[in-house]
A and B are shown apart, each in its own frame.
Chain A
């Protein structure tokens, strides 16, 4: 458990490391004469080898400044200058003594920092995410096999790719072998055996099945299946350019356990037919706020946006979203990629009006009244356009809801058919629907509350400038987002993962939407033997994705088709990528040599050396001699490639302590693992081969930033620099922050990364990080901030001019503010410490041992008062003077990351340099105007540390701070900062 005060900083660690005195540096005579006596008099009594008060000892210091002692000396100086030590109740040095001591340290530090470091290259292993990306790029395998790897630890700077923290263990190395073996077995196939491929399609539509399943289908509690006649399942045989065996699903079953009423039943029973293997299921949370969640019509299944549960369990039922369509089935392939093709369209929909909507005035110009609705009627529309349909229940103008809002009669559902379109929903008042009507004759039918009919319906044409027509116009332009999900059915819900991204369904005509994935990346029921009718189900969910609840035309699903394993050629590309075309295929040894050379050179990210090639070929030969199995022996050799340090490690070999330029291949790898978090592509390797990468760096950086793989950098860097993992784990108090649901969080989580990406892609000034007119938002994020009316972008993040004085920049992003809370109360200490570390790179010291928790203080005090009490305790003031002033301005934002709108909030603060700020906006302005150099330095320091995979030395940090000032001339543009890092000695030299 980390207490709110357990801050880490570089120097406590270094102090512990400093326990052994370092030899080899010249001693300074001033030390013996002037400084050592002071240490002995004022410090050593508490800070010696035995006492080590606060974990610090100084008795061993000999006046030299080896690297490992630098932080300790820095710390001592800080204690002296701030007069924090010696403690008040101890004898104190004179002001003169303090000054002498502090000046001497400062001078010695400056000398020490200007020393040149030894540079002995680096060897670090790939992080889990680098390994995953590299394996995927190398093999073309979609299946992720790296789930077994333990997550990487984080360095003090917060980065997972720091060579010092990337540990190795037998367990990890064993996993590398297992993964390599699995991967090669998946890539290389027996080409002489035709693959078995499962293909089927479920067609949907009212009464389209002329031979429906005669049995009453039940699939457990609340199974909510579509009517048997509303769907058809057909097994298909697709056209392929190669021979294959179509998979036939099991259709004869014998089960002993089943379901009836609210109980399980036992007894063997036989079941027959495909409809006991594949079900069309709508089980989900019940009730839909507006209209019916789903409806089958002649053309297919209509779906409203699938409103997710706030949490998976607990808050609502566990059955999943509302409008939760799934194909539930017993069998899916156990390996390979799959493809789901959904035929879908945007429904030509009408807008259901909300409770309280007004009817159009009677006898409006052009209004058409339809009565006699106890039988079908036809109206003729002369003027095509937007109409409002007001529905009256009886001939008297009687409202369903009286003027006080009291229900006169419980509103019932109205089903209105206009032409071949259906609209149903609760009739709260006469104003029911806004809809676009074409010219010509239109059949009209209506049913109210089952069998009754309304007295009349009035269709009133709307002017374009009416509010309600504008709402309809916006509604009409929206496109439902089609999402496919795959996983398993639980008896109390489903565990599904989304397949790729949701796709916008823009057209009114039925079109095909293709979704692809690797089947084993998705949850599966793990069923072996099964005698229970209800168990072992896979599910393919097809949804209209919910964004923020804005009205959306319904999604029409015509059919859902599955094919898997999906191959576009045989043997598949993964196989051909390894067992390459060659004239030598008849000569095992020559062919093996070619295969190995090509593979190892790609895997090692440089040409394989003669020695390595010989070793690998030996492995192949030994295996081949023993087994006479070419594929097996090739797999053996390639497995060694995939478990060798040349593949698993990023190696910058050094021939001595002096600086050397990276060799071109080392540079290619360093660059690509920095900007892509994966291996260099062919172009980078070609440039390395011709030794022209160094001079092409500028062009290559531009190319790499524009490449889609750059997002892999953005995700990693944003997440680790800004500590977004805190937001992943914080438990939000749902009663206080009801809109901060599980789904909303996944969108807010992306805001920081999208912002960073946008600033870099547009090469905007760094100032936008702390102060900006823009936020990057999709509909969900915009809506969370109350800016829902400013976006129409679905799930896509777009720049939004927020026009809100309290937004803009990462400091006011919900993912950060909520992540730095306990889910209930805002926390200025967490926020302040985060800002000090991440934004201005002035990390606070670690707390001394045995500091009382802030929560232990008097509960009647306000937080600000508690902080003051806490801060005034001995041992606390020093750290907190570098934390609290940064955290207090954030108090205008609550633990959900939203502006408090509370005039009583006191967010004023006196910053360490005595600047007064009243709130976060003034703090942002302070950074943007007065301290931008510091913010830029902090960003660069973190970026360089990430780019080089190591913690920077004091020397490098000092150099960086000085050199970075040159970038100010061009407003610290984001791409300039990246180029600066790549062109620095820290990056280019080893």
Chain B
């Protein structure tokens, strides 16, 4: 990205003086203003989803529809999503090849990374996740590179992770779990910290400028030397400077006016599960609508009976905890597990509704967001045929309304397909072998 429309110094001057007229985005230049937001949201549920044994005769409670292709029928556990039939697809047969090699409890650690956790490099654990690759490319267009949410705050601990987001060095990114804290961080952004953040950026701009000057002067002294490397360096410095200037402006651009009255910021994970998830999803939808961030992860619950979400089924009147239900082999237990999936599908339906309600310049926020919902195991601890549902992204070429499967497919190929759909032309992701062919992704 380069800021050709506005002179950099003019921008600086504008900020130093009176505040800029609105809409600032439009004044900043077409390349930002006309950039259609492309967003990504990953929603994770632990311990697998309902794939009941056929002997129980409750196949209609299977996460995967019984029919493949366009004529699929929603099962009972995903039925709440049927109003969004043309915005969602089921993807079957997915797996991480590294999944079956590692401790089964670390499937959530690798869901977005595909890393060889069974044999990591010495001292390393994970590798970068899909959401953070996306954030790396989208951060220059929005206020926050990414938003990392989870049912429990922090990072949990390795192999029983409390976050599904891993940075470029493979380190876990701590998650937020409290709606009020999330709201304050996203929408209240206290003035002092904004200003100090801007001060940091301004200092950096000055220093980049100084290095640019120094480099140019050195370049002149280099006589007849081959200057290709110096030119590359100068180009990189200029690019960084433009990016910094783009980041710096956020402090002075007011947030989009939004209605926040439906939020109940007192909801916590200790209260009603429904109320908690609704508010967390509303916050994500608002963050997308205001273009505060374009990359979100939300871990809805944790593996192996960790954390508070394990008790949610009990709160909903079911008789066992989430982890115990996932291990159930009996008909009643499997039915209950499926009913909990249905509860999650209801929350998702609410979320998709919000995303569809909010409008971008060209269609709904849902049309400009790829939402991936799934688990790192199918039935408990079984890392094949990962239950996966992808929604939204019509403006990024996603063609929905299908139950797609094509033998065994690498999850990393889905990740790569998402990157390409978003216009991020990485050659590969983790252990990917290519993009999905003849699938829901038409822009790969």
Contact = CB atoms under 8 A, between A and B. Distances in A.
A649 interface: yes
Contacts of A564: none
A651 B222 contact: yes
A644 B215 contact: yes
A172 B155 CA distance: 28
Contact of A654 (B169, B225, B243, B306): B225
Interface in B180-229: 203-204, 206-208, 210-211, 213-215, 217-218, 221-229
A313 interface: yes
B123 A148 contact: no
Interface string A529-547: 1101011110000000000
Contacts of B33: none
Interface in B3-26: none
Contacts of A492: 103, 105-106, 159
Contacts of B101: 313-314
B84 interface: no
Interface residues of A, number: 74
B126 to A, nearest CB: 10
A296 interface: no
Contact of A528 (B155, B206, B239, B307): B155
Nearest to B225: A121
Given A528-B153, A636-B203, A645 B224 contact: no
A205 interface: no
A168 B203 contact: no
A496 B124 CA distance: 9
Contacts of A611: 217
B226 A121 contact: yes
A640 B240 CA distance: 15
Contacts of A148: 168-169
Contacts of B217: 611, 615
A167 B308 CA distance: 48
A640 B157 contact: no
B212 to A, nearest CB: 10
A118 to B, nearest CB: 9
B223 A122 contact: no
A490 B308 CA distance: 20
A655 interface: yes
B237 interface: yes
Interface in A119-149: 120-125, 147-148
A488 B214 contact: no
B93 interface: no
A311 interface: yes
A882 B414 CA distance: 41
A497 B230 contact: no
Contacts of B136: 171
B249 to A, nearest CB: 18
A290 interface: no
A206 interface: no
Contacts of A536: 157
Interface in A312-356: 312-314, 318
B215 A523 contact: no
A170 B239 contact: yes
A645 B218 contact: yes
B225 A652 contact: yes
A123 B230 contact: yes
Given A148-B168, A169-B236, A612 B230 contact: no
B224 A654 contact: yes
Most buried by A among B105, B233, B237, B240: B233
A619 interface: yes
30 contacts: A120-B225, A123-B230, A169-B236, A171-B136, A172-B236, A173-B233, A173-B237, A177-B204, A177-B207, A266-B308, A314-B119, A487-B123, A490-B157, A490-B158, A490-B159, A491-B105, A491-B159, A496-B123, A497-B123, A526-B155, A526-B171, A615-B210, A636-B206, A640-B210, A640-B214, A643-B211, A651-B225, A653-B223, A654-B225, A657-B224
In the A-B complex, the 10 residue pairs with the closest CB atoms: A313-B118, A121-B225, A535-B157, A170-B239, A497-B123, A173-B236, A168-B232, A123-B229, A490-B158, A655-B223
Interface of B: 101-103, 105-106, 117-120, 122-125, 136, 153-160, 168-169, 171-172, 174, 203-204, 206-208, 210-211, 213-215, 217-218, 221-230, 232-233, 236-237, 239-240, 243, 304-308, 310-311, 433
Given A121-B223, A168-B229, A264-B305, 8 more contacts: A121-B222, A313-B103, A526-B174, A615-B214, A619-B207, A651-B222, A653-B221, A656-B223
Interface of A: 1, 120-125, 147-148, 163, 166-174, 177, 257, 263-264, 266, 311-314, 318, 487-492, 495-497, 522-523, 525-530, 532, 534-537, 611-612, 615, 619, 622-623, 636, 639-640, 643-646, 648-649, 651-657, 742
